[in-house]
Amino acid sequence: MPDSPDVTVLVRQAVDRYKSDGEMGPLQAALSALPDAAPAILAEAVEPFRDMPEVAGPVYERIVAAEPDNARALVILANAYWLSGRGPDVVGELATRAIAADATNRGAWHLWALAEGNPRERTSRWKQASARFPDDLLARANLADNAAALAGAEQDYEALDLAIDSYEELLERSDIPEQREALAKAITTLKGWKF
């Protein structure tokens, strides 16, 4: 694959320039000027920079354009958009597309839940993600946190019970002393709430 090293080198050069001068314009121009390459080659070239939304976003826009049903690519693009502040609507739409393409992609479910602005609906989404992936402790923690926030904001005992149950499940699964202590404290606090 003769294109692979060239694209990889071009992306790395663009990122190195950006890291030294902080200029977004030249970075975006360099990424836009990347030669046509297979989506897999583009993905490989940008992999070391996936945590940089200003790099991953433009490259994954090209990948998603070429492979609109690639769940992994949709999730990476949605994450880049989320990190760069593109807004919940576009992130939610990409996450929904990723779920439709591959309902087993946990990242898609996480972004779908995160993108919901309504606290009650967001809690419901985290509940769905937790049910679909019972071993996903991050989804369970987000469910607990969102349910607790909902309970406090709306004086909702059902949400309060959901938060307590979720924190208790996390406590049962945790073997980290500091985490166990924080979870126990949260549970005690929530059990003392009266509306």
pLDDT by residue (tens digit) across 106-115? 999 999 999 9
Is the same domain home to 149 and 183? yes
CA distance 6 to 48: 15
Mean pLDDT over 166-172 rounds to: 98
Is the same domain home to 39 and 91? no
Is the same domain home to 164 and 179? yes
Is the same domain home to 138 and 99? no
Q: What is the pLDDT of residue 1?
A: 47
Is the same domain home to 73 and 123? no
Is the same domain home to 18 and 61? yes
Percent of the chain with pLDDT over 70: 97
Q: What is the pLDDT of residue 137?
A: 97
Residue 70: phi, psi to the nearest 5?
A: -85, 100
Mean pLDDT value across the chain:
95
Q: By residue range, what is the domain housing residue 48?
A: 1-67
CA distance 147 to 38: 43
Q: What angle separates helix 53-66 from helix 3-21, to the nearest 10 degrees?
A: 150
Nearest to 108 by CA among 135, 129, 84, 85: 129
Question: In sequence order, what are the residues at sequence separation of 6 or more whose Cβ sits closer than 8 angstroms to the Cβ of residue 77?
Answer: 56, 57, 60, 61, 63, 64, 94
Is the same domain home to 192 and 124? yes
Q: What is the pLDDT of residue 91?
A: 97
Question: Over 60: is that where the pLDDT of 77 sits?
Answer: yes
CA distance 129 to 56: 25
Is the same domain home to 107 and 138? no
Question: Over 70: is that where the pLDDT of 63 sits?
Answer: yes
pTM of the model: 0.89
Is the same domain home to 143 and 159? yes
Mean pLDDT over 38-60 rounds to: 96
Question: Over 60: is that where the pLDDT of 61 sits?
Answer: yes
Is the same domain home to 100 and 145? no
Nearest to 58 by CA among 17, 106, 14: 14
Q: What is the pLDDT of residue 3?
A: 44
Count the domains in the chain: 3
Mean pLDDT over 71-91 rounds to: 96
Is the same domain home to 188 and 159? yes
Is the same domain home to 11 and 22? yes
CA distance 114 to 121: 10
